Amino acid sequence: MKTVACALLSVLVLLQVACQPSADSADGKKVPDAGKKAPEGDPQGRELMAGLRNMALTMTPDQINVTVPSAGRGIWGSVTDFGSPEGTATLVTFLGGSTSLYFSSGGGIIGTGDSSEDVRKASRTLLAELENCTAQMEARSLQKLPTGDSVRFYVHTRDGLLSTAEIPASDLQSSEHPLFPCYAAAMKVFTQVRLASEKK
C-alpha cells in the first residue's frame, strides 16, 4: 500500500508540474519541447493531447507494428485514465514498451519506454497484469474522461477494445479490490516514467 500511495503522489505531481515530451507526435503535430512547461490551459495543447488519447484508443496493431499475442486475451496495449481535481492523466502502453503520458490540461511525456528499460519492464508487467483483470471489463464505446478522483482502464485485445466502468481511486487502493493488481502495476509505470523524465 505504501508503494501505491507514493506512486499516486507522483501522479498528482506530474499533473501539476512541467511536461517533458519529445519533439513530434505520431500525426506530425508539434508537442511542447522537452524541458519546457506546457502553457497552463493552452487550448492547442489540450486539443493535441485529446487527439493523441483518441489515437491510442482507436489504433490497430498493424499501425504500430505489433504482433498480437496468441496466449490469453491477446492484450497488445492499454490506456488508463486517472482523474483528479487538477485534471486527467492518461497512461498509454503498448507491447514492446512504448509508453507515454498525456495530460488533459495540455502537454505530456512522450515515448519514455523508447529510452528506459525500467519503463519498458514496468509497462510489460502492467500488460501482463491486465490479462488477469479482463473479467472486470467489457466492450464499450469510448467514454469521456473520468471525473474527480476516479480511474478507467482500457485494454486492446485480439477481439477488440475492452474497458472497465469508472471506478473511484479510493476503491482501487484496497488490496481486496479485483483490479488492485492492475492499479498497482499502473502506478509503478507512473513512477518509472517520472524517474525517467527527471533524468533528461
Phi, psi of 100 (to 5 degrees): -145, 160
Tens digits of pLDDT across the chain (200 residues): 444 434 443 444 444 433 333 333 333 333 333 323 334 456 778 888 889 999 999 999 999 899 999 999 999 999 999 999 888 999 999 998 899 999 988 888 988 878 899 999 999 999 999 999 999 999 998 998 998 899 999 999 999 999 999 999 999 999 999 999 999 999 999 999 989 888 76
**pTM of this prediction?**
0.79
Q: Long-range contacts of range 27-32, CB-CB < 8 Å, 24 or more positions apart?
A: 27/51, 27/55, 31/107, 31/108, 31/110, 32/106, 32/107
Cα separation values, 48 from 81, 104, 107, 127, 157, Å: 16, 9, 8, 26, 26
Q: Are 57 and 63 in contact (CB under 8 A)?
A: no
Query: How much is the pLDDT for 197?
Result: 85
Query: How much is the pLDDT for 146?
Result: 92
3-state secondary structure of 150: strand
Query: How much is the pLDDT for 162?
Result: 97
Cα separation values, 168 from 144, 153, 171, Å: 15, 12, 5
Query: How much is the pLDDT for 200?
Result: 64
d(C-alpha 44, C-alpha 105), whole Å: 10
- Set of cell numbers at residue 153: 482502464
3-state secondary structure of 135: helix
d(C-alpha 166, C-alpha 10), whole Å: 21
Q: Are 76 and 180 in contact (CB under 8 A)?
A: no
Strand partners, 99: 93
- Set of cell numbers at residue 193: 516514467
Instruction: Encode 96-116: b = buried (16+ Cβ within 10 Å), e = exposed.
Output: bbbbbbbbbbbbbbbbbbeeb
Query: How much is the pLDDT for 41?
Result: 55
